[in-house]
Structure 1
Amino acid sequence: MRSVALFGVLSTFIWLPDAIAVKSHDFKTCSQSGFCRRGRALAARAEETTSWNSPYSIDPSSLIFSPDEALVSAAVKSSLYPDIKFSLELRIHEDGVVRVLMDEIDGLKQRYNEAADWALVSDPRLSKTINWTTGKKDLRAVYGDKKDIELVVQYDPLRVTLLRNKKEQIVLNGRGLLHMEHFRTETAKETSEEVASEEGGEGQEVLQVENVRAWFEGDTEDAYWSESFSSWTDSKPKGPESLSLDITFPNHGHVYGIPQHATNLSLPSTTGESPSYSDPFRLYNADVFEYLASSPMSLYGSIPVMHAHSADSTVGLFNAVGSETWIDISYPSEKSTQTHWISESGIMDISLLPGPTPEDVFAQYARLTGTTALPPHWSLGYHQCRWNYVSSEDVRTVQKRFDEEDMPVDVFWLDIEYAQDHKYFIWEPKTFPDPVEMTNDVAANARKMVVIVDPHLKRTSDYPVYQEASDFGLLVKPNSGEGEYEGWCWSGSSSWIDHFNPASWDWWISKFKTTKLDSGFSWIQSTEDVHIWNDMNEPSIFNGPEITMQKDTIHYGGWEHRDIHNINGMLFHNNTAAAVRERGDIPKRPFVLTRSFFAGSQRISAMWTGDNLGTWEHMAVGIKMVLANNIAGMAFAGSDVGGFFGNPEPEMLIRWYQVGIFSPFFRAHAHIDTKRREPFLLDEPYKSIVRDLLRLRYTMLPIWYTAFRENSVTGLPIVRPHYVVFPKDSTGFDIDDQFFIGSSGILVKPVTEKEQTEVTVYLPEDQVYYDYFTQQIYRGTNKGKHITVPAELHQVPVFIRGGSILPTRERPRRSSPLMKYDPFTLRVALSKSGTARGELYLDDGITYSHQQGELVWREFAAEQPSRKTTRITNRDLASSKPDTAVDGVDLVKYDPKNAFAKDIAEVRVEKVVVLGLSSKPGSVKVDGKGTELRWEYIPGAAASEKKDGAAASVLIIKDPKVLVTEEWAIVIS
């Protein structure tokens, strides 16, 4: 949901329906941002000066090593400001990650240094095997299992380089753009004219330093103490405090990450020759109305993590900074990348992720900021939303229509109009007179409700949530530090809870209790079947600069909003999730959707790509944005099916559902001014096509849930671009319109262009791929291969990679919880060598009992012990891998006969489909049982054959009467 234009006084809002375009003038460009302007100007001057060296250096005599030498600190000085003190600290973690910190010491003020406290899941464990070598020019450490990683810290000028096998991977300050603007007073300025009055000697040297200072910082004070944008003036009582740093990847020609931006996965250039964009990529959480489908503009969330990739290795960096940040990217050659990071405030706190594989980088980042916690199983189903379902009866009618049309759905959503005068938690009695009964009616069909709770609180004494927050002093303060900050949002005059204040946490949790408190407000008109949508939490403020909060407002601890802006939304959804989890007697997994997010948000919430448009371009870029968020750890991601704005024609809506069913988060949503477009309203044949798509999503829920389990342990993305799966295949480094789902072997190429009837799909390897629906075989090559496949409106190109086994549930149900005891079908897609493998993870999908070992985790495998025999087996994985079962919890006491396993003990495999056998079997039996199974064989091509487009051979084994929770083997001979 997006803010409207604000006119007049009090709470009079006027919606202008013809204002359907991003208002670029509402948001700054780099040239309108003082600190970005200063950072770019420094880069331009350095580029023009071939002899330029950074003024920052290390005093070798100041080096201090910790007892285990994993931590070393040193004093840093600037030749231009010898009286200003800085410190550098280097920490090498157990997994090889290098954390580089730099701060101003004994300055006039303190720089914000708490961003990592919010982002990191815990304090990283330091290595115990580091040995430093101190030389005349640098400090070095060689480490790693193979002693192939080297960290070199050059003293003068300061330069930090990470190498692997003597090859530079990441370089900090290699271009000399490091600049930590030190604190100063506005009146303490020494002019160059005063210095020039001295003659010769020391005075002349000072004059030379002053000239270099002017060159380095600029010869004028550009927006040091205040800055204007539109009608706003941003006071800067601390003066200039930006941090500029160049980070180079000398041997990596592609970079990914830094969401959220509507652009290609492989990030385009912003400087250099023929840049794709004229402005840097911006990280500044913002409510951008109908954003462009290709732009470096900041959007709703910010994750300052970047991957750099080549065929030789993958590395990454995480920049723990919560202030506005601009990032320039250039590619001086096909094999190298230069980046320039410019942040408004904060310390330098950068973690270098050495890789060398994508899997390693994901694991290293996950150890820093955490992984996606296993979500409730039902949240992977279909979510139906619009702004707004207008009444309790409207919700009931929508549910009834889904059931009448045999369309599965798990969740119904309510936008802001459910709340009386937009006072969240308070139902509008005229339209929602029976919220508990309405929720119970939905829950009777094993479904859930999601209700919006935005961060703005209506400033009125008859709203108990606001009044309590005001009485307890829990609200953000204006720049004076006194009273309450006031802005305008849906509620009219509003204030915002300061979630950085620890006193707000338990108080916020208490608001979600579904039983009456001894004192204070609680949401008794709610149930545990209501989950939460946090929107507008950038925060969005209609009458604020750039539609957000003034930077000089004050948060807990005296920090300015400028210091923590990008972190703000994360604290809101984290505390909301804690509230939902703890509202009942038994903790249950919360579902919270957030629009604004930061590094670490993945530990608790899902996200969506915001207020997109119903256009083909937005459909296509939504795929790229979801992939980018998965690269940055925010895996539970999706974009609104159909587009938030507009009225997509049936063709576009069908194609968008084809995109949605293959997104981790799957929700249809629409603006209040759009026509109703629930799928049951479509005419035929469109309605039946969407019904089939919804059923396909539910059929594949075991695959999605298993992928979430893997992500919760390894940090590997749930949807994976080609470079992640095939890191050495350079042809795939730019591909972002097709992707793989987890480790399942499913390859998807959604159709995102109008009137397409066929598409080109890239196969990256010499392996067989099976069309999921027709079982046709396609074969790649060692150099990669493009194939053309049919893609009529009812078709979505989906392939099973040879060597995969897919567990699915094929029986249509109204919602996912009703599938709990349904049998499974196994699709065994043989590789060219006749083997296959797959996993299935199950738990109750609701509670945290899985962390105590209440789960089922199985491995299915197909092997060929002899040329004419194929053996399909099922074994317990949790017993063999107790330390990596779920959520990183050590399950050394795992019991295969745990309560959950007993609960589903009778769940069986009702069908096995084997693709690509070389010949018709003579016998199909369960090992140890002499009874021949019922089976059918359809002749076709074998997995070992190179017959593009030919139908594969299909063996269908009917009801082998084997159980999911028990070990068995089916022998095909």
Structure 2
Amino acid sequence: MRSFALFAVLSAFLSLPDVFAVKSHDFKTCSQSGFCRRGRALSARAQEAQSSWKSPYSIDPSSIIFSPDEAVVSASVKSSLYPEIKFGLELRIHEDGVVRVLMDEIDGLRQRYDEAAYWALVAEPQVSKTVSWTTGKKDLRAVYGDKKEFEVVVAYEPLRVTLLRNGKEQIVLNGRGLLHMEHFRTQTAKETTEEVASDESGEGQEVLQVENVRAWFEGENEDDYWSETFSKWTDSKPKGPESLSLDITFPNHGNVYGIPQHATNLSLPSTAGESPSYSDPFRLYNADVFEYLASSTMSLYGSIPVMHAHSADSTVGVFHAVGSETWIDISYPTAKSTQTHWISESGIMDVFLLPGPTPDDIFAQYARLTGTTALPAHWSLGYHQCRWNYVSSDDVRTVQRRFDEEDMPVDVFWLDIEYAKDHKYFIWDQKTFPDPVEMTNDVAANGRKMVVIVDPHLKRTSDYPIYQEASDMGILVKPTSGEGEYEGWCWSGSSSWIDHFNPASWDWWISKFKTTKLDKGFSWIESTEDVHIWNDMNEPSIFNGPEITMPKDSVHYGGWEHRDVHNINGMLFHNSTAAAVRARGDIPKRPFVLTRSFYAGSQRISAMWTGDNLGTWEHMAAGIKMVLANNIAGMAFAGSDVGGFFGNPEPEMLVRWYQVGIFSPFFRAHAHIDTKRREPFLLDEPYKSIIRDILRLRYAMLPIWYTAFRENSVTGLPIVRPHYVVFPKDPAGFAIDDQFFIGSSGILVKPVTEKEKTEATVYLPEDQVYYDYFTQYAYRGANKGKHITVPAELHQVPVFIRGGSILPTRERPRRSSPLMKLDPFTLRVALSKAGTARGELYLDDGVTYSHEQGELVWREFVAEQPQRKTTRISSKDLASAKPERAVDGVALAKYDPKNAFAKEIAEVRVEKIVVLGLSAKPSSVKVEGGKGMELKWEYVPGVAASEKKDGSASVLTIRDPKVLITEDWAIVIS
């Protein structure tokens, strides 16, 4: 979101970035970043030295100490470069097999930042009680796993940590000798080589030798150790150099994924080695990048330092809990191996090795560390309509009326920064929004919600109570001196920023969202519980700051510099906001908070979007890849702005973008203030009707999406899944990132992201039947995969149902999703080539946390062939069978199938069942135990699932079988 008028003024005085094109020179490259330059130079020296290169770090075997349970081991580490500097190494093996490797400077001049894991982890991991370490002459080892298949080996000299599976190297730390933890030191004048060499006592020669060794490893110059200049800004570095370099190698894995957020391929391209795809490393440094490139390693708004490495044999992962700016080089020395080099500005080494060995295992292991996506409010999965800005309360009412007149469903209307008087968030502009509570109630009367932006910058004026209270409490970020308040410029002009690392800010921020008047201080009484929050600009974005953000030498709570916590900063803001929204009413309700900046663990609280994209075909395609990458990294509630934030997409592009949007977990249309209005009801025919149908398809599929979110909230499995996740042994799918599956539903989607396309090529990875969702045409895959060409006219989006799936949908058009609560269901039964199918449906009230007390419905649908020429379709209660899996972290010991929510929807029925791929026309269709009454059905002959040919599938439609969604039943097709 951008304020054009204010932007023009600020640009003139503050040399702000131009909104009409990304200015790459506003952001550093590695060569302009001192610590990255040093890290890359270290790698270059190692490459030049090749076999003669040796890491200076080693373990003193006599220092090894085992914990009482023996799953934790610690040791002293020394560096031959600086024998006087002490380092400590610790390894912990968790109950689930994850290996945590920590290294820190011991008794140094200062303390390195070591709290990143505190913010990222959902809880302190449980250490194994069965694993034990053994020491040898050259290394330290631990063997574990159900079949003793995993082994961790810690070599003493040089220090090297290796994770093996069945004797095969999976992950290697410091295998290339690039580990370097720059120790704290005092700034002194360095002696020249000539002065040292002239020492007649001979001691100078020894010092010279040490200096030469250090130069061989570190380089000859102190490169930006104590200060650094970029453009017109100077970063003082009072602590001196403290970067951490670490090489992580995957010797037997040829694809790596993750480390969002970047606009690039899902399978990460190379940045080093021979003929790299990019010249700069991937950067993790949360930044406000206007109109970012559709293919780049540039840092964007969020940073999650987690990477998956994959092969047909196994999947492994690493999570590096570091909150400072980090650059990552990737190279592929062979087609089956990957080398990475992680260079961070500050912090300790805190690396979690995720052993897998399957993608599902990796997601579970990472979820146990950082948590899963919070089960969102059901309405938040509907369509969100936003632009910068809806200009008045009457404008909002008009937009709502037009959606209703055109029979287009929508759940949420959004307000950008112009609702707030002088950009003082929480304070409505009474000229344009004189009746915010009445406006919100008008929206809520149709089952809808509002989302209103609250940015982190506070206008520095005494008549703004939020700023004045924060200033009086001393909870604002401080400047370099550590005294007073940091001042920068953003939409509200001169601004300060709340330091959400300060515990004193937490309850205070919660109190601001109360909709009743406080005894003391400001509360948002001109609001209701139907208003939810959008946190933007929380990187933080600062117009007159270096790289459009906060200076790194600003000071946070505890004396930590901003450089230490930059990538974590935005997460604390949206965490506090979510806590505030949840706590504002008497009954806690699930908050919806959208964040632009995020870190590992943000998924526990917020949704995210991919920021200020452009209305181009390239950005449409890039958005799919970015959403997939965020799902891989746990940030599953993700989406890209439909239509692009900047620009005026032509109708064809807008239609295609809506087709992308309905298959994203988060589905919002948004536009810049300078764009033409492009609400879907404004389009001419046939585009308007096409988009109406697209929106209705999203709403029909909401039960599928909500069920996928429940699975993600329990298991950590992505909501949208690339091919390598679903078919991990199929190399042909490892790099595919333009088609994907939705949860475990069996839906395969291939959006069209190119102009004037009327066909699409889709990859089918297996010998199975795939049914066109709309035409029921059956396509056959092959054992080694197969590409098919399918129709994709503008009104068509290639969507397929994998054979063996059962899809629950709600087909009745409604204005918003809450109005669908009592609607009946349609079941699509897509038979596999074996004549079987399975699916799930999860339901709860979608608003409160009553599901944690067992107020839910979780059903399993199964189609099987108990005997030849007979198909039985049944429904049973999954929550009774698996209460421990129904809700994340909550065991429903006394789950009652007749719980309050189940009673509330007790009359909801299945109104239609569609069976695809039957081998012959039935002679009878009856409810089992239903007094032998024949159901109403019709049959259209066609290709059976068991046949090995393409063609229109046979379709059996059973109408109103009079079975209830909350009860066990079975229908027998004979």
Question: TM-score with structure 1 length normalisation?
Answer: 0.99
Q: Distance in 1 between matches of 2:14 and 2:866?
A: 73
Q: Equivalences for 1:379-418 in 2 at 5 Å? A: 379-418=380-419
Tell me which residue corresponds to 1:614. 615
Cα deviation 1:402-449 (Å, max 9, x = unaligned): 000000000000000000000000000000000000000000000000
Check the 8 A contact 1:7/1:13 in 2, yes or no. Answer: no
Name the amino acid aligned to 1:346: G
Shift of 1:806: 0.1
Shift of 1:524: 0.1
Q: Distance in 2 between matches of 1:17 and 1:489?
A: 12
Q: Distance in 1 between matches of 2:15 and 2:415?
A: 20
Q: Equivalences for 1:400-799 in 2 at 5 Å? A: 400-799=401-800
Cα deviation 1:309-356 (Å, max 9, x = unaligned): 000000000000000000000000000000000000000000000000
Check the 8 A contact 1:152/1:160 in 2, yes or no. Answer: yes
Q: Distance in 1 between matches of 2:199 and 2:624?
A: 64
Name the amino acid aligned to 1:937: Y
Tell me which residue corresponds to 1:374. 375
Q: Distance in 2 between matches of 1:209 and 1:895?
A: 73
Tell me which residue corresponds to 1:132. 133
Name the amino acid aligned to 1:396: R
Tell me which residue corresponds to 2:85. 84
- Return the match for 1:945 from 927, 944, 947: 947
Cα deviation 1:750-789 (Å, max 9, x = unaligned): 0000000001000000000000000000010110000000
1:36 matches 2:36: yes
Tell me which residue corresponds to 2:21. 21
**Distance verdict in 2 for CA 1:619–1:360, change over 3 Å:** same
Q: Distance in 1 between matches of 2:484 and 2:120?
A: 29
1:70 matches 2:68: no
Q: What residue ranges of structure 2 are gaps of 5+ in the alignment?
A: none
Q: Distance in 1 between matches of 2:9 and 2:843?
A: 55
Q: Distance in 1 between matches of 2:374 and 2:192?
A: 56
Check the 8 A contact 1:99/1:350 in 2, yes or no. Answer: yes
Name the amino acid aligned to 1:24: S
Secondary structure of the residue that 1:566 maps to in structure 2?
A: helix
Check the 8 A contact 2:226/2:237 in 1, yes or no. Answer: yes
Q: Distance in 1 between matches of 2:59 and 2:41?
A: 25
Shift of 1:196: 2.3
Name the amino acid aligned to 1:45: R
Secondary structure of the residue that 1:707 maps to in structure 2?
A: helix
**Distance verdict in 2 for CA 1:2–1:200, change over 3 Å:** farther
Check the 8 A contact 2:2/2:388 in 1, yes or no. Answer: no
Q: Distance in 2 between matches of 1:203 and 1:433?
A: 79
Check the 8 A contact 1:386/1:669 in 2, yes or no. Answer: yes
Q: Distance in 2 between matches of 1:15 and 1:101?
A: 43
Cα deviation 1:99-119 (Å, max 9, x = unaligned): 000000010010000000000
Secondary structure of the residue that 1:705 maps to in structure 2?
A: helix
**Distance verdict in 2 for CA 1:593–1:888, change over 3 Å:** same
Tell me which residue corresponds to 1:899. 900
Check the 8 A contact 1:4/1:542 in 2, yes or no. Answer: no
Secondary structure of the residue that 2:483 maps to in structure 1?
A: coil
**Distance verdict in 2 for CA 1:331–1:3, change over 3 Å:** farther
Matched residue pairs, number? Answer: 972
**Distance verdict in 2 for CA 1:345–1:610, change over 3 Å:** same
Shift of 1:209: 2.1
Q: Distance in 1 between matches of 2:172 and 2:230?
A: 35
**Distance verdict in 2 for CA 1:427–1:942, change over 3 Å:** same
Check the 8 A contact 1:838/1:861 in 2, yes or no. Answer: yes
Tell me which residue corresponds to 1:179. 180
Secondary structure of the residue that 1:879 maps to in structure 2?
A: helix
Name the amino acid aligned to 1:733: F
Check the 8 A contact 2:26/2:548 in 1, yes or no. Answer: yes
Name the amino acid aligned to 2:947: E
Q: Equivalences for 1:842-881 in 2 at 5 Å? A: 842-881=843-882
**Distance verdict in 2 for CA 1:704–1:7, change over 3 Å:** closer
Secondary structure of the residue that 2:815 maps to in structure 1?
A: coil
Name the amino acid aligned to 2:943: A
RMSD over equivalenced CA pairs, Å: 1.4
Check the 8 A contact 1:3/1:489 in 2, yes or no. Answer: no
Q: Distance in 1 between matches of 2:151 and 2:175?
A: 16
876-885 or 522-531, which deviates more: 876-885
Shift of 1:19: 5.1
Check the 8 A contact 1:2/1:287 in 2, yes or no. Answer: no
Name the amino acid aligned to 2:421: Q
Q: Equivalences for 1:276-355 in 2 at 5 Å? A: 276-355=277-356
199-208 or 755-764, which deviates more: 199-208
**Distance verdict in 2 for CA 1:202–1:60, change over 3 Å:** farther
Q: Distance in 2 between matches of 1:136 and 1:639?
A: 54
Shift of 1:212: 1.0
Check the 8 A contact 1:228/1:234 in 2, yes or no. Answer: yes
Identity of aligned residues (%): 88
Cα deviation 1:640-697 (Å, max 9, x = unaligned): 0000000000000000000000000000000000000000000000000000000000
Q: Distance in 1 between matches of 2:11 and 2:334?
A: 55
Name the amino acid aligned to 1:34: G
Q: Distance in 2 between matches of 1:166 and 1:605?
A: 41
41-50 or 10-19, which deviates more: 10-19
Shift of 1:206: 3.6
Q: Distance in 1 between matches of 2:98 and 2:129?
A: 13
Q: Equivalences for 1:216-231 in 2 at 5 Å? A: 216-231=217-232
Name the amino acid aligned to 1:522: S
Shift of 1:553: 0.3
Tell me which residue corresponds to 1:48. 48
Check the 8 A contact 2:30/2:37 in 1, yes or no. Answer: yes
Shift of 1:886: 1.4
Name the amino acid aligned to 2:261: Q
Shift of 1:15: 11
Check the 8 A contact 2:102/2:351 in 1, yes or no. Answer: yes
Secondary structure of the residue that 1:878 maps to in structure 2?
A: helix
Secondary structure of the residue that 2:83 maps to in structure 1?
A: strand
Cα deviation 1:263-300 (Å, max 9, x = unaligned): 00000000111100000000000000100000000000
Secondary structure of the residue that 2:827 maps to in structure 1?
A: strand
Tell me which residue corresponds to 1:814. 815
Shift of 1:193: 3.7
Tell me which residue corresponds to 1:359. 360
Q: Distance in 2 between matches of 1:529 and 1:761?
A: 42
Check the 8 A contact 1:457/1:495 in 2, yes or no. Answer: yes
Check the 8 A contact 1:873/1:969 in 2, yes or no. Answer: yes
Cα deviation 1:718-742 (Å, max 9, x = unaligned): 0000000000000000000000000
**Distance verdict in 2 for CA 1:646–1:458, change over 3 Å:** same
Shift of 1:946: 1.8
Tell me which residue corresponds to 2:889. 888
Q: Distance in 2 between matches of 1:358 and 1:7?
A: 45
Question: TM-score with structure 2 length normalisation?
Answer: 0.99
Check the 8 A contact 2:3/2:673 in 1, yes or no. Answer: no
Check the 8 A contact 2:76/2:86 in 1, yes or no. Answer: yes
